[in-house]
Amino acid sequence: MDAFSLLKADHRKVEDLFSQLESASGQAKVRVFEQIKMELELHTHIEETIFYPALEKPKQTHELTMEAYEEHNVVKTLLQEMSRARTPNEEWEAKAKVLQENVEHHVEEEEGELFVKAEAALSEEDLETLGEQMESEKERKQRTASKSSSKKSAKKSASKSQPASTAPKRARGSKKGGSKSGSKSSKRGSKKSGTKKGRR
């Protein structure tokens, strides 16, 4: 798959998710947003690490590429701010609309201008190579993301179950230890006091 086909497929997927976000409500809206966040983070990562660096040097694509980096920064900031909210309120809804508008503008500029100029600046072979690199990097990031999320959920379940089982045992152990040492010291005390009395 060439670079343009891969990025356009990403764009269509995010567009579909935004339309789902508009019709969703409550926690379903938050879940759809989490999908949008994941897709946009993957998309911006492969563009910034593979696609854009290849377009920075050619004169015809340099300026548009620099603009694209800045547009990404705006999107990243909005994603961070929105991910802090647990429930969608009015402010969150407003930010979601701004996010959608920013992404739509970015896609329009990328597909309408940047891709056209990139096609003139790069060869078909270059575009195929970039597409393959982005595809493999995207798969790698998805694998590491799924591994880290499964590790986090495993840690959470372990930390939830551990205190409940170990805390009472520790408490019992300390009580037993305390009573044993207490009884031993009292016995020693009575023996010593008895011998002293006897000597007197």
Task: Say how far apart CA 33 and CA 75 lie, in whole Å.
Answer: 13
How confident is the model at residue 151, as a pLDDT? 74
How confident is the model at residue 158, as a pLDDT? 65
Determine, yes or no, domain membership for 15. Answer: yes
Question: How deeply is 61 buried, as exposed, middle or buried, from its count of CB atoms within 10 A (0-12, 13-18, 19+)?
Answer: buried
User: Residue ranges of the chain with pLDDT lower than 50?
Assistant: 165-200
Check which CATH number belongs to the domain holding 102 and give it.
1.20.120.520
Under 8 Å CB-to-CB from 176, ≥6 apart: which residues?
none
- Domain span at residue 78 reads 3-147
Count of domains for the chain: 1
How confident is the model at residue 162, as a pLDDT? 55
Determine, yes or no, domain membership for 179. Answer: no
What does the pLDDT look like over 46-70, one tens digit per residue?
999 999 999 999 999 999 999 999 9
Determine, yes or no, domain membership for 157. Answer: no
pTM score, whole prediction: 0.73
How confident is the model at residue 113, as a pLDDT? 97
Determine, yes or no, domain membership for 153. Answer: no
